Amino acid sequence: MSVTASLSYFSRTALNGIVRSPFVHVIAVASLAIALVGFGLARMASAQLDRLMLALAGEVEMTVYLEPGTTPDKMAELQQALSQRTGGQTRVVSPAEALGRLSKELGDPGHALTSLEENPLPWSVEVTLPPLAREPEALKALADRVRTLPFVTQVDYGQEALERLTAIARALKLGSLIAFVLVFLTAIVVVSATLQLAIYSRREDIEIQKLVGATDRFVRAPFLIEGLLQGAVAATLACGALWAFAFFVGPKLAALFSFLDVGGPRPGIDPRLVLELFGIGAAMGLLGSVVAVRRFLRV
């Protein structure tokens, strides 16, 4: 039998099996769809979490305070080194500019600063850090290295706040991953159990195939195709559910988080997420089929 003929036969057999046991396959598809919707919501929430963390973190800056009398050459050298190391933008802030900024931030009480006989603020170099350069460990190592310079008095980059924000983001993403793994395994168990019922209802056909010399692969193939079809149908349903969620619920979430300027799920879903849903759906359906065939047929 040619490859084309074999695929045609296996596909017809799989479709006939679905038609003969529709209720069993509906349960399997529903289980897969629920798992995929959960995965899709977790991915969408993760994207929103990233935007939220950026909004809360704002423009993370490192400020390097300098000793009085630091020469312009040393400042320029430090600027260039920090810019190359972090990939961020650097600028030198004079004591007068720093005092004016502080006065403005304090509001009315800040007017008292103008009466000071001597400006107590030092020269400094500010570095605006891009998102890729905000890892707490790397920033701590850089700050410790900069502090060893003889003309540097202090380095500040909001260490505690940045570490807390990073820890929160990692904990939430890890929790989402663990939840998805549990749902993934549960869906495979449900699909496997439902397919075992379908296999049991066709046990006589399978016995006849084995008696006339059908190989193990020949017996397995239709059930694997059924699992792939279940995954594809479940992914289609999940995409529809996620699109409806983003279209109807997204604007309400955008209004709810408008004060953070992070928005909500936008109408439609990311094409990459669609591909992920179909890939994961096919994998879950296929794994469920493999487990069911191994446990029940023992072929």
299 alpha-carbon distance from chain centroid: 39
- Position 26 pLDDT exceeds 50: yes
Distance CA 106, CA 122 (A): 18
Residue 139 to residue 135: CA distance in whole angstroms: 6
CATH number for the domain formed by residue range(s) 61-157 = 3.30.70.3040
What is the per-residue pLDDT across 2-11, written as a single tens digit (0 to 9) for each? 667 667 766 7
Residue that has been written with the tokens 């320029």 in this structure: 76
299 contacts 219 by C-beta, under 8 angstroms: yes
> For the segment 255-290, what is each residue's pLDDT rounded down to a tens digit?
665 555 544 445 557 888 899 899 988 888 888 787
Whole-structure pTM value? 0.63
211-225 pLDDT tens trace: 777 676 777 778 788
Q: Is the pLDDT of residue 236 over 90?
A: yes
Question: Do the beta carbons of residue 184 and residue 35 sit within 8 Å?
Answer: yes
Instruction: Note the pLDDT of residue 293.
Output: 75
Residues in the chain: 299
CA distance 181 to 34: 13
Phi-psi group of 115: left, alpha or beta (phi > 0 → left; psi -120 to 50 → alpha; rest → beta): alpha
Q: Residue ranges of the domains in the chain?
A: 3-55+164-296, 61-157
- Amino acid, res. 45: A
> Is there a contact between 157 and 60 (Cβ–Cβ < 8 Å)?
yes
* Percent of the chain scoring above 70 in pLDDT: 77
User: What one-letter code names the amino acid at 257?
Assistant: F
Tell me the DSSP string of 186-234.
Answer: HHHHHHHHHHHHHHHHTHHHHHHHHHTT--HHHHHHHHHHHHHHHHHHH
